[in-house]
Structure 1
Amino acid sequence: MKIGLFFGSFNPIHVGHLIIANLMAGTSDLNKVWFVVSPQNPLKPAKGLLHEFDRYDMVRAAVFDNYKLEVSDVEFHLPKPSFTIHTLVHLQEKHPDKQFKVIMGEDNLANFTRWKNHRQILDHYGLYVYPRPGTQLSELRSHPNVTVVEAPLLDISATFIRDRIRKGQSVRYLVPDAVEEMIRAKGFYLD
């Protein structure tokens, strides 16, 4: 079974994430997509990041009705900060019957050589890349272990959504209804 791992802080998960994951699960050779909620991305600041369990709960609520999409808390149990290579090695040891691929936006492909053990990720696991608006094409695009999946150019950001919430503006259609209900009920992002 081939599993695409969609890593992110998902702060909050939004329809852009879901569209990409659904496309990857439905139009590529991936059997499932696992949303891997990262407690802390080593390349991003932690300021404004909701607790990992709250972000996990929002992702779970967003994907509960799609059997091809799952949420994983694997990085909650690994040393922090979370490095993709450590997660991949851990998952491969735990699930030797599965093949893991990393899903990323083309904007991340441009910075991929900054990732810890990026060569090992590329050579032993491989990448499934979706286009992002305004990104430069990377020479890695032509690597045999990079699969570019056709997808709409989506420019929805969690930062934009958090800003709207702080301003008391609607985020309807930007996040799933269940996620919006959780955000409102728990007062997330109002600080």
Structure 2
Amino acid sequence: MNDQRMAAKQALEKLEDGYGLSAGIQQRIGALFVYCGMLEFNSEKAIWAIKGENPVGVPPSTDRGRAGNLMSELGRLADAESGNLAIAIKLVSEGAKPLLEYRNAIAHGLLVRFNLDHPSFVNNGTWHGEKRRKAPSLAHVDADRLNTSIEVADTLSTAAQNLFYACSGPSARTAGALDQWVIPLQNARDLAARLRI
């Protein structure tokens, strides 16, 4: 094994031994990040399609937008739509907000171990008495919670991709195009809301 691989292996073992992040938990965190990236990409394309925006050769209106801003914009676009299309747009937006907050706490937070059951990440902590613009957030990481977050991210990402298809091309805004997504999206939104409990 070369030195670089050995160093990476030692770093991964350090996360497991020192912080309780098993290989399975590390893998789930990676999967969550991949699905959240797909959610952001698919949501941006959905926004373009809903707005009728063609960004070929020009920066899109969504350029340099943060994920939270994208989801807020997506949610606002539901007001101009009707039926299950409006419902699906709103549910993707509502489910994505707590999911991305959970992901952000992991991605940007400090890894801590409050108890022996599972590690957590604290984002925007005030460790040195500093004042933060955002309130601190906490993300507990265990197999069940991460499995839930992956399931939610997969559902929302796939639904956002279907929003793009439902709002673009010759069959755009066909009645009933998103009917089968309403119940899975309601479930995903409800599961996402419980990630931070």
What's the TM-score once normalised by structure 2's chain length?
A: 0.25
Question: Greater relative contact order: 1 or 2 (C-alpha under 8 angstroms, separation 6 or more)?
Answer: 2
Pick the structure with more helix per residue: 2
Pick the structure with more strand per residue: 1
What's the TM-score once normalised by structure 1's chain length?
A: 0.25
